[in-house]
Each structure stands twice: as structure tokens, then as C-alpha cells.
Chain A
């Protein structure tokens, strides 16, 4: 196999600890324990390696990355290495002093997540009393500090009606970008699918709200919109192609092509404790498994879109079709498309209670 292109971005999951328990969390069902987390110097080495490979942006994520006291040190290290740094946070641990330390460390950007605009609903989704109020306060502190801010709203059947109000809140809080992202259904999201999956009318309404706001806010605030691919004809592209642009490192140092890749069975996950990032990127079986198009089954192999969506999501294929190398069942041409149709047809009228994301609850 030819040498892959250098990666563009690194998602650094510093910890799986988080004060919130969102039922759609993108973390794996088996959360990494604190005792095995990478230490400061290990992360610093990884950041240097990433920069020298050609990574341009590092996204510090979690869990809640602010649960790590060494975060400002890592941000400063990233800046020195020439990496653009982004903090992906729930905001509930932001205080004036901790934010100041991050600004001093030259943090470039913050993505702050909200669960809803209605405080009662938001706190119920996060399963944390008072979380929403803390986030509003965090947004104000970030705006006062002048750090560019993106607000992230995860949308599902229990908050989709509030999209217009979410966009207004983002504008009020001075965000430059807002992400309206429908839940994805693997890991915790799949476990909670009946409680989260919207109906077609809800999707159409959110699309309309986003289109109207884009016209109104052009040049002032940009809106990223992610629809749930269950209602599309074709799957979403897999991260610009498996092992082409993106790297994910888990709290214990496992290096993955995608944050959900740990679900793939019968494969060992390389870790930064055992090998260099470059060696893993180029040679590790998990990265080469679905690189390019040679691995593809039919109907993808002879499909005109195969270099556009790369056959869709491997983790979704695994979750729904039981094989990671199947065409993504979301695709209307996929042999397992019935799985998706069935999930939509069997969606209960009343959403069942959430199964919250926490250690040991999967």
C-alpha cells in the first residue's frame, strides 16, 4: 500500500471523566479509567509528534477536558509546536481563573456544548442540575475574554423544536459559529436510539430553521448543520476517508481512525505508549483496514460515489449490519438497509427514559 497523506487533525481525548451524562455521548460504552490516563509528558510528546507529521489542528476533548489540571500546560505546548488548538468543553468547570490560564496559554478557539435552550430540559438531558446556568455563565466569560466561540447543540426528538431559539441564543452570546448536529447512532446514541431519533417532520422543520437563519446571519455567524443520516439516501462520508485526514487518541493512548472505532472486533488497537504516532498512522492494521477503496464490497465497489462517501461509516455498518466492512446500512443500495427502515418504523410514540452515560451503565 502506498504511503498515506499526512493527517490534518488530531482529536485528543484527555479523559473520559465528565460531570455530565449525555445519553448520546460519543465516548465508547467502556470508558477509560482515570488511573490509566496518559500523563502530561506523554501528551506533550504526542503533540510534538503530531505537529511534525503535518497535523495542523488539535482538538482537546473528553469527557470533559477541563477535568485535567494540566490542560493549560498542554495548550501551551500545542501552541509552541505550531498547532491550532481548540477546546471542546461542556463549560461546567469554567471559572474566570481557569479560562484566563487557557487564554494565556494561547488557546485559539472554544467549542461549547449546550443540551437545549430550556434549562429544565437541558439539565435533564445532561442529568446534572444547574448545568445549563453554568454554561451560560461560561459563554459570557468566554465572550468577555475574547476567545472565538462556537456553540454546539446536539439535536434529537426531545429538543428539535427549539432550533430557532438555539440559533438566537448563539447570536445573543456572541458566537461566531454554531453547530446544529443531530445525534449519531453508535455507542451511547445507539443504546438510546428510541429516545433520540426524530421523525421526518422534525428534520424538515430543523432544516428550514437553519436555512432561514443562514440567510439572516450571513457574514456574522456561520452555521454547521448535521442531519441524521437515517433519513438520507446516502450515508455521510467517513471523516474524509478512513485514515486520510483524522486521528483520535483515547485517554489511555489508543490511536484510532475514528472515535467509534473501538467497537471493531478482533483487532488490536495500537497505543502511543508502544509506538510512534507516525508508525501507527502508516502501518497499523486498524488504519490500513479501510483505507482507500480496495476493501469495499458491492454495491460500493462499482458505485460512482465510492470516493465521495467512502462507503459511509464503518462503525455504523458494524453496529447495524454486524460487519464493519459492509456498505453503511443507511445507504438505500446497501443490502442491510432494512435495519434502518425498521428502526424508523419501530420508533415508539413516546420516548423511553434515557440510559445515561456513566461508568458501568452500558
Chain B
């Protein structure tokens, strides 16, 4: 990584993983998903929760997109767009890293 830039862009060939100290967690009391991170827990919307449940440190984002396109019977381009935008945001927040 060069000095002046943030994390490298995540593409369909990227294998993402959770940074140490961050994880996805289901909250049984509120019945919603949360992303647990240093000093804050933020609410994961249903789409983010679907994506993050498939992040296991071995799967590529392309494979994640395939699985979701199938599960929701939705156009792959639409899913791909949403997934890549979401992981970019989470990489910026240091939740996801390149495995």
C-alpha cells in the first residue's frame, strides 16, 4: 500500500475478510444484525447482512454476487453494483480487508 492512499479498491476478484476486532452479529433482543467494531456497533441493513454472512475469508466477491443473484433471482449487474458499493464503504471504515 502506498503512503498517500487508503485501502486498495475491492473488485469481483477480491477475497474480503473481516478485520480483527470487527464482526457481524445477530442481535436477538432487537432482531436485527449489527456490525461490531472498535468502540461502536452499527446497524447492518438487511442487504448488508446478506452480503456479510457470505464473507468468510475464502470466497471472492464475484462468488458472493453469484450466490445473491441466485438467491434473490435478481439481475446480476444490479446485485454486483450494490455489493461493490457496500464493500467499498466498509473497507473505508476499516471493517473489511483484503484476505
Complex Cα–Cα for A52 and B30 (A): 11
Residues in chain A near residue B92, CB distance under 8 A: 218-219
Least distance between B62 CB and chain A CB atoms (Å)? 23
Contact A109 B25 (CB under 8 A): no
- Range class of the B interface residue count: 20 to 34
Q: How many residues of A contact B (CB 8 A)?
A: 26
Contacts A176-B94, A219-B6 known; A150 to B38 CB distance under 8 Å? yes
Residues in chain B near residue A285, CB distance under 8 A: none
Of A37-45, A53-61, A118-126, A203-211, the one with at least 4 CB within 8 A of chain B: A53-61
Complex Cα–Cα for A30 and B94 (A): 40
Contact B94 A111 (CB under 8 A): no
Contact A57 B36 (CB under 8 A): yes
Complex Cα–Cα for A147 and B21 (A): 7
Least distance between A259 CB and chain B CB atoms (Å)? 15
Least distance between B48 CB and chain A CB atoms (Å)? 16
Is B99 at the interface (CB under 8 A from chain A)?
no
Contact B29 A53 (CB under 8 A): yes
Mask of A1-23 contacts with B, CB within 8 angstroms, 1/0: 00000101100000000000000
Contacts A8-B41, A148-B38, A176-B94 known; A54 to B29 CB distance under 8 Å? yes
Mask of B1-19 contacts with A, CB within 8 angstroms, 1/0: 0001111000000000001
Residues in chain A near residue B40, CB distance under 8 A: 57
**The residue from A6, A82, A216 contacting B25, defined by CB atoms under 8 A apart:** A82
Contact A177 B39 (CB under 8 A): yes
Closest to B7 in A: A219
Is A322 at the interface (CB under 8 A from chain B)?
no
Closest to A86 in B: B39
Complex Cα–Cα for A176 and B94 (A): 8
